[in-house]
Amino acid sequence: MIVLVRHGETDANRAGLLLGRADPPLNERGRQQAAATAAALRHEVAPLILVSPLQRTRETAQLIGDATGTPVTVDERLIELDYGEWDERRVADLLLDTVERWRADPTFAPPGGESLAALRLRVAPVAAEAFEQAADRTVIVVSHVSPIKALILCALGLDDGYAWRLRLDVASICRLGPGPLGPVLFSFNETGHLH
């Protein structure tokens, strides 16, 4: 089984800002969410934990590692989408026609940033490797909204455009596993552990 975890809340998330390569810590609520997520995953036996290099994911992953007694391994490929000049801006502040173009074209990149198509190329090997490693243990991936969506779309063989139709809350859990015809999405955007 592959367990995909989005990091807990930061002040930038709470403010509705695009948060790509900026590196703020979790806020108090985010730390509580990460602790609740760790408690929900504490029964995973000696999982492999892979994490983005950014602070908000490392804080979340460390709590999961502590709960499961497992070390955390940083994987640079799991870093959030690079929003370039749009980092720490609200989508609502961008020009509507630009946002519409971004959502319609997976090869479109924000100025100085990264496209969804480029993100997919970056995370596709992670998905393949995680499925190989998940044959004999759980692989927990702690990352960000865009890489998690891309991992799911890669696994299911779906187009990058579907990313805009998936809502993924902070500190949520998704689960992918093997099926008779390939990877299966067992759950998406689990948040019951946060209540």
Of the residues 7, 43, 193, 195, which is catalytic? 7
User: Using the 8-state DSSP alphabet, how is residue 92 labeled?
Assistant: G
Query: Which residues does 55 contact at the CB level (< 8 Å), separation at least 6?
Result: 23, 24, 25, 26
Cβ neighbour number for residue 96 with a 10 Å cutoff: 8
Helix, strand and coil percent figures for the chain, each rounded to 5: 45, 15, 40
Q: Which of 178, 185, 114 is nearest to 146 (CA)?
A: 114
Indicate the helix (H) or strand (E) that contains 177. strand 173-177
Of the residues 43, 144, 193, 195, which is catalytic? 144
Going 12 to 16 to 18 to 19, the CA torsion angle's sign is positive
- For residue 195, indicate whether it is catalytic: no
Q: Which residues are catalytic?
A: 7, 144
